[in-house]
Amino acid sequence: MKKLIILIIICAGIQQGLSQSPVYPWNTEWDAVEDNAYIKDTQNQLLPYTGTWVYTNGNKKVTIKLQRIMYYYTSGKKHFMDKIAGRYKVENGSTVVFSDWDLNFASANLSGVRIYENKLYGSYFDAGNCRILSDVKIWLDPNNPNKMYMESELQGKMPFVQDEDECPQWRNPGFGENPTIPRSIVLYKQ
Amino acid sequence: MKKNLLFTLLGSLCLFFACKEDDLREAGHEHGKTETKQVTFREFLNSEGHRSEVQKIRKYFHGTHPGISNKGRDSLNWEIDTAGITQIITPEVTTYTFRVIEYDTISGFRNVVIREYQDETKAFLVHYPDGVDYENKTEANVIVEQLESPLFRAAECYVLRYQCLQCGMTMCNVEPGWVLIRSTCSDSGGGGGGYNPDPDPYDPGWPTDPGNSPWNENGGGGSGNGSSATPCDKLRQKSIDQVFKQKINFLKVKVNEHPHEWGWENYNPNEMYPTPGNGTNKYNTSAEGTAMTYEVREWGQHVTGYAHSHPDRPEVMGVHSTEDIYQFAAMVKRRYQGVPPGGGQFEVNSTYGIVVGTHGVYAIKITNLDNFVNSYIFSDRAEWDKFWLDFEENYNRKKPVGNENNNQKNNEISILKTLQYYYSTIGITLFRASDDLSKWDQLSLNEAGTDVVKTPCN
């Protein structure tokens, strides 16, 4: 029992250390907080989206792993926030078409940063297509928390690479029209 | 001799009325001796500042410059833009063509041309009342008036025509170009018919659209890529560029008419890398996107602006997206890092990114180049990736979602907050045009961030 109390005290101490930043609820705007503030998912709104989700269509299989990233450090005004970050693997039969599965989540190209009317809004930089950018909308089936819908819409076809010459194919007709993750999919939790 | 003067002054081909064999040889000969280049205001002053005619018109020059100062805006409704001066040198004649900054709305646009001919210097105000359609190359009226003339001289009229300058048996031997043909002035002030085949010594050189971006400005020893004209000045110049206005109005129609984006780019072919083309201030034809994004068709250091529509759909904001802002930043970066034909640096103040949406016509422009250069261009790869990831996420959290929230004020506040948040990194500011495109306002937020403040450019 004593050990348990000591452990709780230690954990509380660690948490206290992490929480020295002023904490704001998750819907707080970034520019409404001071430097070093922490915009926290205080109501655990993000947790239902986390986990490993799979979409299949014939031979095509998309596996997406969504995690809640805590204390994500933002550039600009320098503060921290919680967000959803995703890594994914796309397979065609036994061939892996794309995978960033093993990379760290902090710099993930799939993210969710806002919830409005039970839908998670975020963005998708398609690393398999020169990081072209799409808006993403994710929502859970109200009758089945293990079923998730994901839709994306392309913002534009400019490659988000530091030098567009790294991606000469962006000028080709049809570039960007076949995203690595299909535009509208239904996924099931594993 | 007069024909010869016209050939040489315009730096090109034979006239419509002069396509005779003798003249062909003459034109071809002179064509090879013509040199056209961009000079800075400092270079102009070093070369011509001592001339009494230049001293006489100093009150018209925009801004304050070493050794020369303007009279101020209080007493003038126009000034000479000291950025992007075109110099044309032939064996007989040297001309300098300047853009004009207008402080009142005028029809078309005006240039000032300073001409040296047979040791005599004269300055002319050259008005293109209908603008110049560089794209379709239709004829345009030109009115020429001598500045600070010791004798009263009435304005004289010309017609500007794009035509073969050196005619072969069945086709042009060289690429066509603009020529001026003397005409009679109609009551309305524009040129009419009755072309006089005799060119006049007041031929005003190449028309230089004020919305055009210069190709080789060094800024007179200043910041290099900047120019004396402010972003507001540059937008005002666009307000009197008839071709630009037509093309924006076309996109305005598409906003409500079509579910896809339409768009175009504005570019200077003579800045192309590696092979410069002919002409400046060109627009490609407005094109429909294949999906919700318009197709970028012209890209490179010679591109100075883009515009596209955002269709009137509930989920589409009528202002720039992250992608649009990124495209603009990439364009500015290309210009900043590019090298013009002939060396030097590109001017970036004229670059713009325009979105035509349900709630208005918006332009983004660089208003702090130092921020952009120091923080954006030279950031390392990881920082750069993170910057755009964070930018998009930040903007995403500010965007109004839900049909009921997609309105002008909410959209403007969301983009203004985002641009303000990253101003120290990218130095970009938002502007909005009046409905008739004649005026621009710089937009900012009030102190509480709850309302939009308009600061007129005019």
Cα gap B284→B266, rounded to integer Å: 7
B95 vs B292, more confident: B95
- The residue whose two tokens read 């092979």 is B275
Q: Which of chain B's residues have a Cβ under 8 Å away from the Cβ of A113? A: 393, 396-397
Cβ–Cβ gap A76/B402 under 8 Å? no
In the three-class reduction of DSSP (H, G, I as helix; E, B as strand; rest coil), residue A86 is classed as strand
CA angle at B262 for the pair B256 and B263, rounded to the nearest 5°? 130
Cβ–Cβ gap A156/B295 under 8 Å? no
pLDDT above 70 (res B226): no
Q: What would you measure as the largest C-alpha separation in chain B, in angstroms?
A: 74
Task: Give the per-residue pLDDT at B20.
Answer: 29
Cβ–Cβ gap A113/B393 under 8 Å? yes
Q: Which of chain B's residues have a Cβ under 8 Å away from the Cβ of A177? A: 290-291
**Strand runs labelled E in B57-213:** 64-65, 68-69, 78-80, 85-89, 93-102, 109-117, 120-128, 140-146, 156-163, 177-183
Cα gap B216→B259, rounded to integer Å: 40
Tell me the C-alpha to C-alpha distance, in Å, between residue B294 and each of A180, B261, B266, B289. 20, 5, 14, 4
Task: Give the per-residue pLDDT at B197.
Answer: 31
Confidence of residue B24 (pLDDT cuts 50, 70, 90): very low
Confidence of residue B1 (pLDDT cuts 50, 70, 90): very low
Residue of chain B whose alpha carbon sits nearest to that of A119: B401
pLDDT above 60 (res B396): yes
Cβ–Cβ gap A122/B385 under 8 Å? no
Task: Give the per-residue pLDDT at B217.
Answer: 27
pLDDT above 90 (res B21): no
Task: Please give, rounded to a whole number of angstroms, the shortest distance from the CA of A94 to a CA of chain B.
Answer: 31
Q: Which of chain A's residues have a Cβ under 8 Å away from the Cβ of B398? A: 29
In the three-class reduction of DSSP (H, G, I as helix; E, B as strand; rest coil), residue B335 is classed as helix
- Written as one letter, the residue type at B213 is S
The continuous run of DSSP H or E covering B81 comes out as none
The continuous run of DSSP H or E covering B235 comes out as helix B231-239
State the burial class of residue A112 (Cβ atoms within 10 Å of its Cβ: 0-12, 13-18, 19+). buried
Tell me the C-alpha to C-alpha distance, in Å, between residue B73 and each of A173, B104, B239, B240, B456. 50, 11, 19, 18, 16
Q: Which of chain A's residues have a Cβ under 8 Å away from the Cβ of B273? A: none
Cβ–Cβ gap A154/B291 under 8 Å? yes
- The residue whose two tokens read 């794309």 is A98
B337 touches chain A (CB under 8 A): no
Mean pLDDT across A118-147: 96
Confidence of residue B34 (pLDDT cuts 50, 70, 90): low
B66 vs B25, more confident: B66
pLDDT above 60 (res B172): no
**What is the residue extent of each domain of chain B?**
2-218, 231-456
Cβ–Cβ gap B327/A74 under 8 Å? no
Task: Give the per-residue pLDDT at B57.
Answer: 83
**Strand runs labelled E in A75-180:** 79-92, 95-99, 110-116, 119-126, 132-141, 144-154
B49 vs A68, more confident: A68
Percent of chain A scoring above 70 in pLDDT: 88
**Strand runs labelled E in B203-283:** 262-267, 282-283
Which of B392, B405, B416, B423 has the most A C-beta neighbours within 10 Å, making it the best mutation to test the interface with A?
Answer: B392
Task: Please give, rounded to a whole number of angstroms, the shortest distance from the CA of B344 to a CA of chain A.
Answer: 22
Distance spanning both ends of chain B, measured CA to CA: 45
B192 vs B183, more confident: B183
B385 CB-near residues (< 8 Å, 6+ apart): A107, A131, A160
B324 touches chain A (CB under 8 A): yes
The pLDDT tens digits for A4-59 are 454 444 444 444 444 568 999 998 887 788 888 999 999 999 999 999 999 999 99
**DSSP-derived pairing of the beta strands A38-40 and A23-25:** parallel
Q: Is the distance from CB of A71 to CB of A15 less than 8 angstroms?
A: no
Packing angle between helix B21-31 and helix B2-9, nearest 10 degrees? 40
What number is the ipTM of this complex? 0.87
Q: Which of chain B's residues have a Cβ under 8 Å away from the Cβ of A171? A: 299
In the three-class reduction of DSSP (H, G, I as helix; E, B as strand; rest coil), residue B98 is classed as strand
Cβ–Cβ gap A153/B292 under 8 Å? yes
Backbone angles phi, psi at B266, to 5 degrees: -110, 130
Residue of chain B whose alpha carbon sits nearest to that of A111: B393
Cα gap B238→B53, rounded to integer Å: 29
Task: Give the per-residue pLDDT at B215.
Answer: 24
- Written as one letter, the residue type at A180 is T
Task: Please give, rounded to a whole number of angstroms, the shortest distance from the CA of B396 to a CA of chain A.
Answer: 7
Q: Is the distance from CB of B316 to CB of B403 less than 8 angstroms?
A: no
In the three-class reduction of DSSP (H, G, I as helix; E, B as strand; rest coil), residue B172 is classed as strand
Residue of chain A whose alpha carbon sits nearest to that of B418: A31
Least-confidence region, from A10-19, B225-234, B388-397: A10-19
Least-confidence region, from A90-104, B125-139, B252-266: B125-139
B444 touches chain A (CB under 8 A): no
CB atoms within 10 A of CB B170: 5
Which of A24, A162, A171 has the most B C-beta neighbours within 10 Å, making it the best mutation to test the interface with B?
Answer: A162
Residue of chain B whose alpha carbon sits nearest to that of A74: B390
The pLDDT tens digits for A139-169 are 999 999 999 999 999 998 889 988 878 898 9
B323 CB-near residues (< 8 Å, 6+ apart): A133, A155, A156, A158, B293
Please tell me which of A79-83, B90-94, B404-408 the model is most confident about, judged by mean pLDDT.
A79-83
Percent of chain A scoring above 90 in pLDDT: 64
State the burial class of residue B205 (Cβ atoms within 10 Å of its Cβ: 0-12, 13-18, 19+). buried
B66 vs A179, more confident: A179
Q: Is the distance from CB of B193 to CB of B183 less than 8 angstroms?
A: yes
Least-confidence region, from B111-125, B235-249, B268-282: B111-125
Q: Is the distance from CB of B95 to CB of B88 less than 8 angstroms?
A: yes
Backbone region of residue B263 per phi and psi (left: phi > 0; alpha: psi in -120 to 50; beta: other values): beta
What residues of chain B, 118 to 157, have a C-beta less than 8 Å from chain A? none
Buried b (16+ CB within 10 A) or exposed e, A145-172: eeebebebbbbbbbbbbbebeebeebee
Query: Number of A:B CB contacts under 8 A?
Result: 96
- Of residues A121, A123, A156, nearest to B327 (C-beta): A156
Percent of chain B scoring above 70 in pLDDT: 72
Task: Please give, rounded to a whole number of angstroms, the shortest distance from the CA of A122 to a CA of chain B.
Answer: 7
pLDDT above 50 (res B336): yes
